[in-house]
Amino acid sequence: MVAGNWKMNKTPTEAKLFAGSIADTIPAELLSRVDVVVCPSTSCIGSVTEVLYGTDISVGGQNIFYEDSGAYTGETSGEMIKDLGADYTIVGHSERRKLFGETDEVVNKKLHYALRKDLRPILCIGETLEEREECETNIVLERQLKGALEGISTEQLRKIVIAYEPVWAIGTGVVAAPEQANEAMAFVRHLIETLYGKNLAVDCRILYGGSIKPDNFDDLVSLENIDGGLVGGASLDEGFIELVRIAGRHA
Ligand code: PGA
């Protein structure tokens, strides 16, 4: 899977044009082997789903609130983005955790809510540089994963995509070394095995995220524990199509 997180970039007009060009360029055969998801800003979801209608490219939100409606000024519900045609939503991105105070408890509520709305969550977890330097990576991953998955059943886990995104690699140009990423992701898979059993640990889709570029993606996606990428900066231009091609070589 290659998922693009456009963050707060592109107007609805720009997003529609770009999504259309992706759809025109990626061959259908490639889309049959690689799951491609684009996550535009909430304001662009409607225009992007419209232009991607009938293609095999899915659309996701970057964030949702965990109620359908009500007095939650500035928020958007999962029901609303579902109505706009989204099939996925990112949950617990580190920018949401850091800038908007999202706790593991809130992430857990959003995860349950997304699943109730039949949205496939892309659950983000990852340690900060300080935590890595203190050798706390596994402790943080375990806390975030167990916190997020509290009360999630085996059936529900099948719908969740996990993204390991070391915070120090996001938007910094400093990509994790393939062995570093592979090791952390092996630990995440091991946690899934202890919580849900071996079969699910093998089947569970785990993406890497953080400064992915066409020139470093091949080394990452060829590793055993890495099933694809969640891409920020490099998903905003034609480089994204190259990333899908690279994933296709390993699919
Ligand atoms: P980046 O962002 O690829 O720009 O580092 C990744 C992400 O935040 O999901």
Cβ–Cβ < 8 Å for 58, 3: no
CATH number at residue 166: 3.20.20.70
Which residues does 79 contact at the CB level (< 8 Å), separation at least 6?
A: 68, 69, 117
Average pLDDT, the chain: 97
- The reported pLDDT for the residue numbered 19 is 98
- The reported pLDDT for the residue numbered 83 is 98
Q: Atom 3 in ligand 1: which residue has the minimum CA distance?
A: 232
Spot the catalytic one: 79, 93, 238, 242. 93
pLDDT confidence of 44, banded at 50, 70, 90? very high
pLDDT confidence of 202, banded at 50, 70, 90? very high
* Distance of CA 211 from the midpoint of ligand 1 (Å): 6
Please tell me the distance from the alpha carbon of residue 66 to that of residue 79, in angstroms, as a whole number: 9
Pocket test for ligand 1, best of 170, 208, 220 (most atoms within 8 A of CB): 170
Q: Which H/E stretch holds residue 106?
A: helix 104-116
Q: Which H/E stretch holds residue 116?
A: helix 104-116
Overall average pLDDT of the 140-146 stretch: 98
Overall average pLDDT of the 185-204 stretch: 97
Domain count across the chain: 1
Which residues does 24 contact at the CB level (< 8 Å), separation at least 6?
A: none
pLDDT confidence of 105, banded at 50, 70, 90? very high
Read off the tokens for 52. Answer: 């991607």
pLDDT confidence of 148, banded at 50, 70, 90? very high
* Distance of CA 173 from the midpoint of ligand 1 (Å): 9
114 lies in which domain range? 2-250
Overall average pLDDT of the 75-81 stretch: 98
- The reported pLDDT for the residue numbered 232 is 98
- The reported pLDDT for the residue numbered 113 is 98
pLDDT confidence of 31, banded at 50, 70, 90? very high
pLDDT confidence of 94, banded at 50, 70, 90? very high
Q: Express as a percent the part of the chain with pLDDT over 90.
A: 99
Overall average pLDDT of the 206-234 stretch: 96
pTM of the model: 0.97
- The reported pLDDT for the residue numbered 137 is 97
Ligand 1 atom closest to the CA of 163, numbered from 1: 9
Overall average pLDDT of the 183-190 stretch: 97
- The reported pLDDT for the residue numbered 11 is 98
Nearest 10 degrees: CA dihedral of 217, 187, 141, 162?
A: 50
Q: Are strands 229-231 and 2-5 parallel, antiparallel or unpaired?
A: parallel
Residue with tokens 């490099």: 234
* Distance of CA 230 from the midpoint of ligand 1 (Å): 7
Q: Atom 6 in ligand 1: which residue has the minimum CA distance?
A: 232
